[in-house]
Amino acid sequence: MNFSRFLVLLLLLTTASSCEEDSIACTMEFRTVTVMVTGPALTSYYTFRPATGDTIRISQENVGGQAGVYPILDDSYQMVLEGRTENFIFRGFINDSLVVNESYGISADECHISYVSGNLNVTL
């Protein structure tokens, strides 16, 4: 067998052996779905999960502490949501007054969460 045929055969075998339906290559990024709130800074916020009644609190530092950007949900919920979409409600407060009450659809695949629906830019 000449060298060029050997290389072609080797390439075909390598390609065929790496094509497994179950293998997924996930990126190493850690995703966070965020909302940009224009206006006065929120004094507190959380995400409510209606399906379970859970209150989810994610630090604003997880999104770089950027002014006006608040986390709704992050990849720590990927395994919980894998293969489906669920509704979440972001609630933001100034002092004790509710000023943001927005609903978001968020889904997840085998690797990350993803934004599906909802207002990502809120003006107070």
Q: Would you state the structure tokens that stand for residue 15, as one six-digit string?
A: 């390609």
- Give the pLDDT of residue 4: 44
Residue 43 CB neighbour total at 10 angstroms:
12
- Among 26, 70, 18, 64, smallest CA distance to 44 is for 70
- The pTM score is 0.79
Residue ranges covered by each domain of the chain: 24-123
- Give the pLDDT of residue 65: 78
Mean pLDDT by 10 residues, the chain (124 residues): 44 43 78 96 97 95 87 96 97 97 97 97 97
Contacts of range 55-63, beta carbons closer than 8 Å, 24 or more positions apart? 56/88, 58/32, 62/32, 63/32, 63/34
